Amino acid sequence: MRARWWFCLGLLALPLAVFAQPAADNPLGMSRTDTAQAHFIYFDPLGFLAPHAVQTFKNSWEWQRARFGWTPSEPVTVLLMDWSDYGNAGAVGAPHSRIIFQVSPPSHAFETNTASERFYSTLNHELVHIVQADVASPEDAFWRGFFLGKVGASASNPETILYNYLTTPRFSAPRWYVEGTAVFMETWMGGGLGRAQGGYDEMVFRAMVRDKDPFYDPLGIESKGVRSDFQALAN
């Protein structure tokens, strides 16, 4: 619930942040750094992190362009925040590519996160989500042209779920698949060090085999498994 709360706050703050100017012109006290790959928006006390975030993002962006054959449709908007005691991040692929990044160090309890530099590992993970949503097949490109861009799903307009699927089909996959892909890629990009090979997961799997607990099938993971994991409902 905590992760969902700050993520919702970040989504509410992002429209205001897009129009942020340096503190001298903007009472919100936010600044913006633009590159060819992304727009970085942050509260001024986090300005010392901006150069590092820019370079780390660029490194991951170039690596993933080469591996996925990805031609970005637009720059990514990255909002840097410090509203939480623990680091975390979330990515949204439609209608525009956005990353909301809590810059605090992540929790290393149970070894669910690597001890490597957090900007490196987190941006590697979140940019995989951006690729999943932004990369387009010829059919995806057709529907994006028809709808004049990627369509974000809205609970108040259920028909947008279909439009979202037509324009960003890979981002509409079950959560276990979307997150599993990003965790696998972040581990590969970390030289084999990452959550795909963490000691915590091995401990859980060994205990399940010993206790003869059933392993969820894909449907079970999506419907029940996400409710049995204490780590932010991510299985």
Worst-scoring range by mean pLDDT, 6-20, 50-64, 106-120, 163-177? 6-20
Place of tokens 């810059």: 103
**pLDDT classification of 9: cutoffs 50, 70, 90:** low
pLDDT reported for residue 227: 65
pLDDT tens readout for residues 126-180? 999 999 999 999 999 999 999 999 999 998 999 999 999 999 999 888 887 888 8
pLDDT reported for residue 158: 93
| Residues in a beta bridge with 209 | none
Distance CA 194, CA 39 (A): 27
Average pLDDT over residues 27-53: 91
Q: How many CB atoms lie within 10 A of CB 12?
A: 9
Strand 98-102 to strand 76-81: parallel, antiparallel, or no bridges (unpaired)? Answer: parallel
pLDDT reported for residue 26: 65
For every residue of 92-104, DSSP letters joined together read E-SSS-EEEEE-S
Two tokens, residue 143:
């529907």
Backbone angles phi, psi at 173, to 5 degrees: -70, 165
pLDDT reported for residue 216: 80
Distance CA 191, CA 185 (A): 10
